[in-house]
Amino acid sequence: MIEPESGTLLISDPFLRDPNFMRTVVILCEHSPKGSFGFVLNRPFEQTLDEFVPELEGYMLPVFYGGPVQPDTLHFLHRLPKLIPGGQQILKGVFWGGDFNKVIELVQNNELPPDKIKFFLGYSGWSEGQLDEEITAKSWLTTMGKSSLIFHPDAGEVWRDAIHEMDDKYHPIVNYPIDPQLN
């Protein structure tokens, strides 16, 4: 486990009961004494990007649930700093945000590789000291993020694969039941 910082993955404990974060992986975009924020990587919406951005009608790119905070806001992570200016690097080769008008233009011109960008509604946020308390309480495992997990082609496998990227001692938890009392 590592200390949280920008680019850290938060992997929920297998018994975390909060429905917003049950069996999720969150990429931290920022962690400071004032608070933290990031995006849930493995909760896709049924709706696609064109249902939220009228200018992109017909472009059915996936959108993910970023977290319970401000669910009416759209965010994105990408691996295209040369095509999308203004993004903030959170991890080597991974950027948060940038010029959204440029994103719209790239999508409309079919110049945006869908495996290099990920859209989120809302975000996950923690107030001052809150995330550190949750980590101390063992609600989260922490590891350094990897582009391959952030842009994983199968959202249903992100939690399991993130755990398998960690030390072998954590691997058995992927088989734990969601509710051990039902076992």
pLDDT digits (tens, 9 = 90+) for 32-89: 999 999 999 999 999 999 999 999 999 999 999 999 999 999 999 999 999 999 999 9
Report which residue type is found at 93.
Answer: G
List, as one string, the DSSP characters of 130-141.
HHHHHHHTTSEE
Rounded to 5°, the CA angle 144-121-111 comes to 80
Is 2 inside any structural domain? no
Is 3 inside any structural domain? no
Q: What is the pLDDT of residues 115-145, one digit of tens each?
A: 999 999 999 999 999 999 999 999 999 999 9
Place of tokens 């080769």: 93
Query: Residue 90: which domain range?
Result: 8-177
Token digits for 31? 């962690």
The pLDDT value recorded for residue 9 is 98
Number of domains in the chain: 1
Name the 3-class secondary structure at 100. helix
Cα separation values, 172 from 66, 80, 137, 148, 169, Å = 27, 36, 20, 22, 7
Is 36 inside any structural domain? yes
CATH number of the domain within which 171 lies: 3.40.1740.10
Phi/psi at 65 (5° precision): -75, 110
